[in-house]
Amino acid sequence: MLAVSILKNKIGTENAIKEINKTSADFLHVDVLDKTYVDEVFNPLKEVEASTKPLNIHIMAEHQWFFVYKYSKLNPESIILQYELCEDVGFLLNHLRFRGIKCGLAIEPNTKISDIVKYIPLLDYVLILGVNPGKGGQELQRKVLYKFDILKRLKEEEGYDFKTIIDGGINDKTINDVKADIFVCGSFITMSDNYQKQIEKLGL
């Protein structure tokens, strides 16, 4: 499955969403940044209302409660919290589950699966960042790929049913190297002139 990220594009967020609506993508992936985690602000709350694709919201911001409250009103398919920024991990995950919103945790390249394993029974998604947070167009850090083997083993041994997501560095050259359920792809698609043509190159 494919989620298209709009963090980096060349036609403006509103127009990029319109183009994604026309494609065969499964989800619109929305990174939410407030300049505390990375040196950038991105909070397209109004723009994403125009999406006809289910919303994956990835909150990479300090005050996660605030953004969970705001984006929950959009009835997203899922909200994914950035583990390294979240102080109330278990409480927020349970809040999302109570609201009927699928929930997940994202971890940056240097964070280990063992750091989040106690939360896995609560998760619908585990998102592995394949690049350093917040900047589009980076190359995939292949050192993160082993994490998908660990997650697969956990699912087999413990019977968990979460889905795995790779976010960052995905293009037609790297996609076959990653054993994920969902691929988040941004600039490979959104910096092009033909979104659907680029999606077809991914072979999903």
Residues in the chain, total? 204
**SS3 at position 64:** helix
Encode pLDDT of 99-140 as tens digits.
Answer: 999 999 999 999 999 999 999 999 999 999 999 886 666 789
Phi, psi of 5 (to 5 degrees): -90, 140
**SS3 at position 59:** strand
Q: Where are the alpha helices (DSSP H) in the chain?
A: 13-21, 64-72, 89-98, 146-158, 187-190, 195-202
Instruction: Provide the 10 A C-beta neighbour count for residue 166.
Output: 26
DSSP state of 106: E
Assign domain 2-202 to its CATH superfamily. Answer: Aldolase class I (3.20.20.70)
State the average pLDDT for the chain.
Answer: 94
What is the average per-residue pLDDT within 93-102? 95
Domain spans of the chain? 2-202
What is the average per-residue pLDDT within 20-32? 97
Encode pLDDT of 153-195 as tens digits.
Answer: 999 999 999 999 999 999 999 999 999 999 999 999 999 999 9
Q: Which of 137, 143, 145, 131 is nearest to 178 (CA)?
A: 145
Checking if the pLDDT of 198 tops 80, the result is yes
Q: Which of 101, 167, 107, 168 is nearest to 138 (CA)?
A: 168
Q: 40: pLDDT confidence band, cut at 50, 70 and 90?
A: confident
Q: Is the dihedral of CA 162, 65, 85, 132 positive or negative?
A: positive
Q: How far, in Å, CA of 42 to CA of 68, rounded?
A: 15
| E-only strand ranges, the chain | 2-5, 27-34, 41-42, 55-60, 78-82, 102-107, 125-129, 163-167, 182-185
The separation between the first and the last C-alpha atoms of the chain, rounded to the nearest angstrom, is 7
User: Which pLDDT does position 38 carry in this prediction?
Assistant: 79
User: Which pLDDT does position 133 carry in this prediction?
Assistant: 81
* Prediction pTM value: 0.94
Q: 58: pLDDT confidence band, cut at 50, 70 and 90?
A: very high
Q: How far, in Å, CA of 170 to CA of 188, rounded?
A: 7
What is the average per-residue pLDDT within 81-86? 92
User: Which pLDDT does position 175 carry in this prediction?
Assistant: 96
